[in-house]
Amino acid sequence: MPYRRAFRLAAMAFALGLGAPAAVTFAQGEQSTAPYAYRQLDDPAKEREASDLMATLRCLQCQGQSIADSDAPIAGSMRSLVRERIARGEKPEQIRAWLIERYGDYVSYKPQLTELTWPLYAVPLVFLLIAFLLLRRRFVLRARGAMDGATDGEEGDSRREEGDRA
Amino acid sequence: MTASPAEPARAKGPRWAIWLPLAIFLAFVGLVAIGLFKPADHTVRSRLIGKPMPSFDLPPAQAGRKGLSSATLRDGKVHLVNIFASWCIPCRVESPQLGELAKAGVVIEGISVRDSADNLRTFLSENGDPYAGIGADDDGQVQLALGSSGVPETYVVDGKGIIRYQHVGEIRADQLAMILQKLQEAAL
């Protein structure tokens, strides 16, 4: 990949050196001619559906950009693919799945729940649970200390008293 | 309940615990250093390796020549499918290597991406024409179907139409032997 990028840079420098006409032909040769690369769908609802999806798909060439933001030719082809399929009635998640099947999860900005990513979702829940247990212990200890063991009051009650004082 | 309860005495941690923040910090620095000096490889490879070539039927990129359909790739012979374009500079770099492969008897099928017939003709006359057929993928849709993320890319497809290897970027002279070996493996 770095090679190709370097070549592109070299090509751009070259094109600039030759002046405007060369630069123009170079750009035209690369631009996507796919029908919906630069054209919106006529149905606004479908276009909205398509653009929501396009904002969450990664351009394969300029990888920090979504295909909605990128002007790379391959992003144009991908936009057209998304719009054509939405127009045919495909669901956005079907299209995402089709692309992931070919390019892997990396092509999607929307995190997928997979064998690899489930800890990202599970760990915060575990932390919340640990925090709850620690705090509960602390409050119960405090409440017990405050009441000097006068009542063996239920935890729920002691916690409520604790809450009142706070 | 007016007297506020005494704080329960804080349990003193073990003595080594004082080093814990430093250890965590150093672990973090280590992690950043790994990321700095060994950046992740962001080459997007096709997930279709080991899977059948998706079906497509591309018209000829030049009048009077063969195009490329996925049926051709299931004809029992090993094919090299080269995704290229006349506007792609590295494609010029790899064309001598493709010429050598063609001379060695490798069947090379071309897919020209987002190209025009005129530019393609110039490109082929300047850089040689090793292709058995060239399909015109003007919309770039077949490129997406193949899981290709740029040009040039080269696929080794076995006789049953299964993708056996994907080469991302241009084939350099020192990679010819490796490509020939992949072709041999696909023929087995």
Read off the pLDDT of residues A34-87 as tens digits, 9 standing for 90 and up. 889 999 999 999 999 999 999 999 999 888 899 999 999 999 999 999 999 999
Closest Cα in chain B to A165: B1
AA letter at A20 = A
Name the residue facing B140 among A29, A77, A142 (closest C-beta): A77
In this model, does residue A161 exceed pLDDT 50?
no
Please name the residue that has the structure tokens 């604790």.
A162
Q: What is the rounded CA–CA span in Å between residue A67 and residue A116?
A: 25
Name the residue facing B144 among A10, A78, A145 (closest C-beta): A78
pLDDT in tens, A104-114: 999 999 988 88
Q: Which residues of B touch A165 (CB under 8 A)?
A: 1
Interface predicted TM-score (ipTM) of this complex, two decimals: 0.82
pLDDT of residue B155: 97
pLDDT of residue A62: 84
In this model, does residue A160 exceed pLDDT 60?
no
pLDDT of residue A13: 55
In this model, does residue A156 exceed pLDDT 50?
no
Question: What is the pairing mode between strands B133-137 and B153-157?
Answer: unpaired
Distance of CA A104 to the CA centre of its chain: 14
Selected residues 81-120 of chain B with any CB under 8 Å from a CB in chain A: 85-87, 89-90, 93, 114-116, 119
Phi-psi region of A149 (alpha: psi -120 to 50; beta: other; left: phi over 0): left
pLDDT of residue B29: 97
pLDDT in tens, B93-146: 999 999 999 999 999 999 999 999 999 999 999 999 999 999 999 999 999 999
pLDDT of residue A87: 96
pLDDT of residue A56: 96
**Which residue in B46, B49, B91, B144 has the most chain A C-beta atoms within 10 A of its own C-beta, making it the best mutation to test that interface?**
B144
Q: Are B139 and A32 contacting, i.e. CB atoms less than 8 angstroms apart?
A: yes
Q: Are B78 and B107 contacting, i.e. CB atoms less than 8 angstroms apart?
A: yes
In this model, does residue A166 exceed pLDDT 70?
no
pLDDT of residue A21: 42
Q: Are A142 and B5 contacting, i.e. CB atoms less than 8 angstroms apart?
A: yes
Axis crossing angle, helix B89-103 with helix B117-127, rounded to the nearest 10: 60
Domain boundaries defined on chain A = 31-107, 118-165
In this model, does residue B77 exceed pLDDT 90?
yes
* Helices and strands in chain A, H and E counts: 7, 0
pLDDT of residue B26: 97
pLDDT of residue A12: 56
Mean pLDDT across the stretch B39-65? 92
Contacts (Cβ under 8 Å, ≥6 apart) of A111: A117, A120
**Which residue in B10, B87, B142, B155 has the most chain A C-beta atoms within 10 A of its own C-beta, making it the best mutation to test that interface?**
B87
Contacts (Cβ under 8 Å, ≥6 apart) of A32: A38, A73, A74, A75, A76, A77, A79, A80, B114, B139, B140
Structural domains in chain B?
Answer: 57-187 (3.40.30.10)
Question: What is the pairing mode between strands B107-113 and B79-84?
Answer: parallel
In this model, does residue A11 exceed pLDDT 70?
no
In this model, does residue B179 exceed pLDDT 90?
yes
**Per-residue pLDDT band at A99 (split at 50, 70, 90):** very high
**Per-residue pLDDT band at A23 (split at 50, 70, 90):** very low
The model carries a pTM of 0.74
B91's tokens: 């494609």
Q: What is the rounded CA–CA span in Å between residue A57 and residue A80?
A: 13
Q: What residues pair up with A113 in beta bridges, in sequence order? A: none
**Topology (CATH) of A31-107:** Helicase, Ruva Protein; domain 3 (1.10.8)
Q: Which residues of B touch A32 (CB under 8 A)?
A: 114, 139-140
Percent of chain B with pLDDT over 90: 85
**Per-residue pLDDT band at B14 (split at 50, 70, 90):** confident
Mean pLDDT across the stretch A137-149? 79
> Can the peptide bond before residue B152 be classed as cis, meaning omega within 30 degrees of 0?
yes
pLDDT of residue A143: 81
pLDDT of residue A153: 47
